[in-house]
Structure 1
Amino acid sequence: MNIERLSLDQLRVFAQVADSGSFLAAARALARAQSAVSYAVTTLENQLGVALFDRSQYRPQLSEAGKELLRDARQVLDQVDALQARASAYAQGQELEITLALDVFFPTAALVGLLQGFRAAFPGVTVRLEIEALGAVAERVLDGEAMLGILGTLPIVPAHLLHISLPTVLLVGVAAPSHPLAQVTGRVPERLLAQQVQLVLSDRSALTANQDFSVHSSLSWRMSDLGTKHALLRAGLGWGYMPRHVVADDLAAGRLVTIRTGAHPPAGLALPMQCIYRPDHRVGPALSWWLDALAQLTSFDPA
């Protein structure tokens, strides 16, 4: 077996014969002589040391080895086609990868819709998502690890970053129905908030380390994951602020209830979200798509 002498053309001919059902049909599809197609497949079989087709019948049938190796051949061809497409796009100035730093409060439904549109427009560009909170989003953009970021839990836009205003996310105070604060009618006094464990998102960045936003209690439990905070809230282990779109089903089902605090309006706090990016970052077609798509958002509510 001399696998290093295999050619992509041989693999394409092999796949075409399998798809067409005969050497003659494959020759027509490839606009080649039937003898050239037969020679390419025979040479490939000799190099691999196995028969890819059973030729004992009127039409060639894939052998057991041929069925297995056809999957490998298609995978190789797909990877080569992707390589060619990505290289061509990069030569024209298109990015090969987009890295986005997103705040944990950014609605997942909106993100899914954006990613669907992006994949349709740039199928060859890979996407790296980093979900962060507080200053970690801005830090990823400032240090160049992320091409753009979406701030939510950080109330300020760091200097030297360009920004695009996005729709707001409604932030509400919630607790389990069994929680002591859920028994309070009307606005909860600050002294009662301070007596209960508050579940707070922690900051993994140096940008805003040791800074607290909307923290009312010294009895705070801190975590970097919004899903963990959500689970602890439903378990009655504390109270905290959550994006309304994340807890909407829990509120409707009674697994959580809203609580009113002096820091937030009765209906909740409209939290501004911002798209941020560095002014010195080269804006290629893929990044330009994201900036345009985000700028056109008027609401995070499902259409």
Structure 2
Amino acid sequence: MIKPDLLKCFIAAADTGSFSAAGRLIGKHLATVSGNIARLEDELGVLLFDRDGKYPQLTEAGLNLYDGAKVVVDSVERFTRNANQLSAGVPATFTLAIDENIDFQPIAKILKQAQQQWPYLRFNVVCQCVSDIFAAAREGEVDLALTPSLEGNSQFYEFQAIGHCDIVIACSKQHPLAKKRQITNDDLMAHTQILGSALDKQDSLYQVSKMSPSVCCVNGYHNTLQLVQAGVGWAMLFAPQQTSVADIKILAPEFMQTQMQIQYDLIWPKNQPLNEVHQFFIKGIKPIFSKA
């Protein structure tokens, strides 16, 4: 089997145009680079460089084999880094569950940073209703989940309170409510309210959220937002950070003397030890909610 070190010398020489420059690039002596390339040529039975001129020139065979050599070296390096991560305790996969009623955009930025730090870790992200998230946590099917704080469920998971999420009441800029200077409870009740379809009607969150007798149910934050933008009705949006959204007006009904908020937790299955990936997400997500 051809050793990757030989291929690295070949690639460096092809990229830099000289054996001495290749040595400087990969931190090896000129004699080592020249010897490794000669050894590689012997093993392959082909001449990779024409050495007649001042600088070595790739032969036709060298040009033909260059791309394949890059693939082999990249694969070996990827394999090695992946193995090093696993041996250091980084999991092969990590499943993150997010309450579907919350704006996912701030969390997506944290996920991008995690992907950059662990490029060979396979991330699974699911946006689900709260009941499905708790069921998945009970079965050990998620590694970490972002959910509203609910009492009486912690017998099967560990949790850490991370802060509050603002709840804003919004409608489209073309909606009749957007034109009113003052908005009463009666005004809200006179128009369709867009509600999360996954909310249990017996749940306290549903009882607090539902205000209008006319309801349009939909799943997920972005689907709710699209219906609001389309003028279907008004909705309570869960926004961990203040964001400006096109065609949306934030309303300030008379009953809202203070900012409406809901407490959020990060949860994980009981007896599951926290690894560095858990800690990364906990550290990254917590400031999003502490600013809310």
TM-score, normalised via structure 1 length = 0.74
Alignment of 1:4-23 (within 5 A): 6-23=2-19
Equivalent pair of 2:228/2:248 in contact (CA under 8 Å): no
Distance 1:225 1:63, change over 3 A: farther
Kept in 2, the 8 Å contact 1:182–1:259? The answer is: no
- 2:193 aligns with 198
Change (3 A) 1:211 1:98: same
What is the CA–CA distance in structure 1 between the aligned matches of 2:234 and 2:33, rounded to whole Å?
Answer: 75
Q: Which deviations, in whole Å up to 9, do the C-alpha atoms of 1:162-192 show, x marking residues without a partner?
A: 21111212111111233233455534335x5
- Supply the distance in 2 between the matched residues of 1:257 and 1:297 (Cα, whole angstroms): 20
In structure 2, the partner of 1:166 is 162
One-letter amino acid of the structure 2 residue matched with residue 256 of structure 1 = K
Which residue of structure 2 aligns with residue 175 of structure 1? 171
Does the 8 Å CA contact 1:175/1:259 hold for their aligned counterparts? no
Query: 2:275 matched to 1:284?
Result: yes
Which residue of the partner structure matches residue 274 of structure 1? 265
Structure 1 regions of 5+ residues with no counterpart? none
CA distance in 1, matches of 2:169, 2:74: 50
| Partner residue in 2 for 1:109 | 106
Give the SS at the match of 2:126: strand
Whether the aligned pair in 2 keeps the contact of 1:172 and 1:267 (CA below 8 Å) is no
**Aligned 8 A contact 1:11 1:73 in 2:** yes
2:79 matched to 1:83?
Answer: yes
Alignment of 1:58 with 2:49, yes or no, is no
* Inter-partner Cα distance in structure 2 for 1:232 and 1:36: 65
Deviation at 1:259, TM superposition (A): 5.0
After superposition, give the CA deviation of every residue in 1:212-241 in whole Å (9 maximum; x if it has no partner).
Answer: 611234533222232222122122111111
Please point out which of 229, 235, 239 is paired with 1:240: 235
- Name the counterpart of 2:37: 37
Identity of aligned residues (%): 21
Residues 1:96 and 1:243: Cα distance change in structure 2 (over 3 Å): same
2:217 to 204, 219, 222: 222
Q: Please give the per-residue CA displacement for 1:97-152, whole angstroms capped at 9, x wherever unaligned.
A: 32211224256336525752x45654553433222343333333222221111114
- Range with greater deviation from structure 2 (222-231 or 106-115): 106-115
Distance 1:195 1:94, change over 3 A: same
3-state SS, counterpart of residue 9 of structure 2 = helix
Aligned counterparts of 1:107 and 1:279: Cα–Cα separation in 2:
25
232-241 vs 287-296, which deviates more?
287-296
The unaligned stretches of length 5 or more in structure 2 are none
SS at match of 1:249: coil
Tell me, in whole angstroms, the C-alpha distance in 2 between the residues paired with 1:272 and 1:73. Answer: 54
Cα distance 1:25–1:219, how it changes in 2: closer, same or farther (>3 A)? same
Paired residues of 1:181 and 1:259 also in contact (CA < 8 A): no
- Alignment coverage as a number of residue pairs: 282
Residues 248 and 87 of structure 1: is their aligned pair in 2 closer, same or farther, counting only changes over 3 Å? Answer: closer
